[in-house]
Chain A
Amino acid sequence: MAESGEALEELTSLMHGFSVVLSPYTLMLMFVGVFLGIIVGVLPGLGGANGVAILLPLTFAMPPATAIVMLSCIYWGALFGGAITSILFNIPGEPWSVATTFDGYPMAQQGRAGEALTASFTSSFFGALCAVIMITFIAPAVANFALEFGPPEFFSVYFLTFCSFIGMGREKPAKIIVSMMIGFALAAVGIDIVTGQLRLTFGFTELLRGFNFLIAVIGLFGIGEILLSMEEGLAFTGKSAKISLRVVLETWRRLPRFWGTALRSMVIGCWLGVTPGGATPASFMAYGVAKRMSRDGDKFGTGQMEGVVAPEVANNAAGTSALLPMIALGIPGSPTAAVLLGGLMIWGLQPGPLLFTEQPDFVWGLIASMYLGNIATLILCLTCVPFFAAILRIPFSIIAPVIVVICAVGAYTVSNAQSDIWFMLVFGVVGYLFKKLDYPLAPLVLALVLGDMAESAFRQSMLMAQGDLRIFFSNWLVGSITGLALFALFWPLIARVIGRLRTVRPSTA
């Protein structure tokens, strides 16, 4: 009976969270956040991570619980909004929306854009809701468990985070390593917290403060994306969309048929989402599995509603469950979660397992806002699609300079430094080159955020063990996490060996 007692406790905490969030002011900010988030998700050059980074300074004056509600709502808006460009314009706003274009755009071409969008928003809602329920009941347990962690355990979790990037990434491992390590190196710039020595500043006073990852996010994702869009010449040719109540109800009547696909995609999304960088592989895997399991599998790619449902459920489940390690352990699973984490630190909250006991208002308010934010996003998405699609029709020669200006304002306000505008432009060029050459950007950003924490966990462990690396295998807990990390790191090799064994066996048998 202990378990049901615990579940009850979490429900009470959640109700308390709702009481924190349910004020007219917070609800208004919630809708403002979702609205801004969808705009940010729809516009080229502004994604979830970037949008949250730019708007972060605006929330400095608000109480933290209110601020995080608005910021996480921007995140929901961006997650949902990515589907609008994928379906109407065949332009995936985010990498995890790529799979949505496969069937979403053909549907729009056949004049079924309204159906596709309704299916996509509803699936997103379903995926995100399931992931939030998972967070509600699992995050407190994980945080409780993590209270016993010492430096070696924390380092092994960081190690797992970074190894799974290398093992699960679609890019070449060497490029993932280079990108990630550049992030770590940039994180090391400035004053060393242990010895007080200056590192990698080369005599520039601007570098004393170190690199703020928000500048990197704004440059890499914002300016980099603008340069890429400009290079492609930018002729948006989109399908128009109107969603009438009749279409919505008609689509909702048909959606329950895909419950099997939705459940499978939800499990894939929740599972992969907890590991970093999981949303993109989750959406592809869910699409692939749906294609294999569906009766209409061979018609996928020609405008099947099921082909929209699968990736959308998965990527929203994954995008949402990426917040679980951030809330419970203080380790973000995606660049956007990393930016939210940066916000926590700016408001003076120490992310990590203690947050649940020390700041229950904040944590449960955030979790409650996830439920409400998703509902708000669904409503706004279904009602305002024509408006958001119209934004995309604004000519690029107006949008581009405006976005550059907004990015510059965002970069400046992070720490009131004009030199940050230059760093932002440099990061923009780096982002452009890296994106075109298939260097992943997410590991760079995460390493930049986690660099200091990972380093101090590593150095403390080394101090404890007098430089003996075997400390990372010294007990079953740290040993199994490190083992899991190594497994994730070498997963591509392991998968290849398994694949070879499978092909060999039938011939020998």
Chain B
Amino acid sequence: MAQHATSRRGISTRAVEIAVALLTLAFGALVAYTSYLLGSTWGEYGPGAGYFPFYIGSLICVGSIVTLIQAATARHPAGKRIFVEWDALRRVFAVLVPAAIFAAGVYLVGIYVSALFYIAAFMIWIGKYPWYKGLAVGFGVTFALFLMFEVWFLVLLPKGAYNVLRFVGY
């Protein structure tokens, strides 16, 4: 049962609520401040460029402060006190980090090659599939994408700085 005890540990909902409310507050303040600098008042030709966004930013601040107070004083029911358990958070990053690498890969080798290796790597490391299955699915999906976009619908996708597909004429 030790397993059960450890699996209930994680980041508390309250902490995340407060952190997100602070972030939105900062965002709202930034929007309001830059709009104020742009001219949030009545200009020469009517309302200035910052007129509307200034109120928008201010409203974000008001809403964030209310949320902040509610988050700080709220009592969460037992089942909802944990925002995300450490195990679950690790799974989330297991998607997010490879996705970021995939996005970086698009710049280097283009979307097709990057996608092939991303799908294959994800299946092999996270899905525990044998490597040949991973590569097969990765190749199949990217080939289908290639046919659909590049050949049928004539929508060109990025090939990256080191275009591998150059050798097949694309």
Contact = CB atoms under 8 A, between A and B. Distances in A.
B56 A459 contact: no
B102 A199 contact: no
A70 B148 CA distance: 16
Contacts of A459: 46-47, 51-52
A327 to B, nearest CB: 27
Contacts, number: 176
A230 B53 contact: no
Nearest to A196: B49
B96 to A, nearest CB: 7
Report which residue of B34, B52, B53, B100 has the largest number of chain A beta carbons within 10 angstroms of its beta carbon: B52
A485 to B, nearest CB: 15
B157 A458 contact: no
Given A174-B66, A408-B106, A467-B47, A425 B100 contact: yes
Contact of A200 (B31, B98, B141, B158): B31
Interface in A399-418: 400-402, 404-406, 408-409, 412-413, 418
B155 A413 contact: yes
A421 interface: yes
A226 B94 CA distance: 11
A472 interface: no
Contacts of B51: 459, 462
A408 B92 contact: no
Given A178-B60, A178-B67, A402-B119, A458 B103 contact: no
Contact of A404 (B16, B102, B128): B102
A233 B13 CA distance: 19
A115 B168 CA distance: 52
A195 interface: yes
B59 A181 contact: yes
A227 B96 contact: yes
Interface in B43-58: 43, 45-53, 56-57
Contacts of A192: 49
B118 A405 contact: yes
A371 interface: no
Interface stretch (A81-89, A122-130, A182-190, A354-362): A182-190
A57 interface: yes
B52 A455 contact: yes
Given A199-B50, A405-B102, A421-B103, A400 B122 contact: yes
A66 to B, nearest CB: 14
Contact of B96 (A197, A425, A439): A425
Contacts of A143: none
Contact of A233 (B27, B91, B129): B91
Contacts of A178: 24, 28, 60, 63-64, 67
B72 interface: no
- Dominant secondary structure of chain A at its interface with chain B: helix
Nearest to A176: B63
| Most chain B beta carbons < 10 A, residue from A195, A200, A413 | A195
A401 B119 contact: yes
Interface in A441-470: 455, 458-459, 462-463, 467
Nearest to A193: B49
B147 interface: no
A344 interface: no
A245 interface: no
Contacts of A406: 145
Nearest to A455: B52
Given A181-B60, A397-B123, A422-B103, A197 B38 contact: yes
B45 A405 contact: no
Contact of B63 (A175, A195, A412, A432): A175
A292 interface: no
Given A181-B59, A181-B63, A412-B157, A418 B52 contact: no
B167 interface: no
B47 A462 contact: yes
Interface in B21-79: 24, 27-28, 31, 34-35, 38, 42-43, 45-53, 56-57, 59-60, 62-64, 66-67, 70
A199 B35 CA distance: 8
A182 B91 contact: no
A1 interface: no
Interface in A179-229: 181-182, 184-185, 188, 192, 194-195, 197, 199-200, 202, 223, 226-227
A226 B126 CA distance: 14
A412 B111 contact: yes
A181 B122 CA distance: 37
Interface string B88-132: 110110111011101100110001000100110011001111000
A418 B126 CA distance: 26
Interface of A: 57-58, 60-61, 172, 174-175, 177-178, 181-182, 184-185, 188, 192, 194-195, 197, 199-200, 202, 223, 226-227, 230-233, 395, 397-398, 400-402, 404-406, 408-409, 412-413, 418, 421-422, 425, 428-429, 432-434, 436-437, 439, 455, 458-459, 462-463, 467
28 contacts: A178-B24, A178-B67, A181-B28, A181-B56, A181-B60, A182-B27, A182-B60, A184-B52, A185-B57, A188-B52, A197-B38, A200-B35, A226-B95, A230-B95, A397-B128, A401-B119, A404-B102, A405-B115, A405-B119, A406-B145, A408-B106, A409-B157, A418-B107, A425-B99, A434-B20, A437-B16, A467-B42, A467-B47
Given A178-B64, A231-B92, 17 more contacts: A174-B66, A178-B67, A185-B31, A188-B52, A197-B49, A202-B34, A233-B88, A401-B102, A405-B115, A405-B141, A408-B102, A408-B103, A425-B99, A433-B20, A437-B13, A455-B52, A462-B47
